[in-house]
């Protein structure tokens, strides 16, 4: 319920409402396709560049929107926290859940796009839930960590957008993992979003491949961040009343 409330509040009194969910990745897809696909001629593993970028952008949106909203969720809900006692952990987790609603809408648009570019669903589509679930676990883990730290150190709310911009270009969204030199690729996969984006792209298009090593590191990273994030959150939760 809290997640649905956050979605409702976010698009309240906007002209196109939840249409913003579609507009943002579509505009980014258009810009990336022109700049990186047409001008820079970055290889896309034989996948039409709009699909190549869009399939990565929607998963990135699930991750970045979830952790960004979770990171500021306690500050945004400080009135609710001060009035009613309930497990505070629900708030950042609900924020991550609200990002899933946006992802589902964006994913729906991907279906006609694949038909426009003559891509048909294959068995690989069964792997998409894996990418989704692991991404949400990762986003929840980082989000809980940021939520806990942001209560005490408000500097994080200014640093997060900058860090996320760097993280975006450090992930295989506008380029293929195959462009990363083989000698440093194992280190590149330490970025947990690298293996997940690669898996999502393969699941949607059925083309190319994905690294099992990269996916394994992504799963391990997501679990590690979730454990660290929830542990730090519960530890800092004791002093929330002093800062909210």
Residue pLDDT, tens place only, 27-38: 889 999 999 999
This prediction has a pTM of 0.89
Look-up of token digits 């708030």:
91
**CB–CB of 173/57 below 8 Å?**
yes
Q: How far is it, in rounded angstroms, from Cα 163 to Cα 211? A: 25
Any idea what DSSP says for residue 208? S
pLDDT digits (tens, 9 = 90+) for 215-236: 999 999 999 999 999 999 988 8
pLDDT digits (tens, 9 = 90+) for 101-147: 889 888 988 888 988 998 887 899 999 999 999 999 999 999 999 99
The pLDDT tens digits for 73-84 are 888 777 777 677
Instruction: Say how far apart CA 13 and CA 120 lie, in whole Å.
Output: 38
Model pLDDT for residues 139-196, shown as the tens digit of each residue = 999 999 999 888 888 878 888 999 999 999 999 999 999 999 999 999 999 999 999 9
């Amino acid at each position: 319920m809290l997640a649905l409330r956050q979605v409702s509040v976010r698009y309240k009194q906007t002209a196109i409402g939840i249409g913003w969910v579609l507009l943002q990745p579509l505009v980014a897809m258009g810009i990336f396709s022109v700049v990186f696909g047409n001008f820079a001629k970055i290889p896309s593993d034989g996948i039409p560049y709009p699909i190549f970028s869009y399939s990565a952008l929607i998963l990135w949106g699930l991750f970045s929107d979830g952790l960004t909203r979770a990171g500021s969720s306690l500050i945004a809900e400080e009135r609710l926290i001060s009035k009613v006692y309930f497990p505070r952990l629900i708030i950042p987790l609900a924020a991550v859940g609200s990002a899933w609603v946006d992802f589902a809408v964006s994913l729906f648009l991907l279906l006609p796009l694949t038909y426009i570019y003559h891509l048909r669903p294959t068995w690989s589509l069964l792997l998409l839930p894996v990418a989704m679930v692991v991404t949400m676990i990762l986003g929840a883990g980082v989000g809980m960590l940021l939520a806990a730290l942001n209560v005490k150190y408000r500097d994080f709310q200014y640093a997060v957008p900058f860090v996320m911009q760097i993280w975006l270009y450090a992930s295989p969204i506008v380029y293929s993992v195959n462009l990363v030199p083989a000698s440093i690729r194992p280190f590149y996969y330490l970025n947990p979003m690298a293996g997940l984006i690669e898996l999502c792209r393969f699941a949607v298009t059925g083309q190319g491949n994905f690294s099992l090593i990269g996916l394994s590191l992504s799963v391990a990273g997501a679990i590690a961040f979730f454990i660290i994030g929830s542990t730090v959150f519960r530890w800092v939760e004791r002093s929330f009343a002093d800062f909210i």
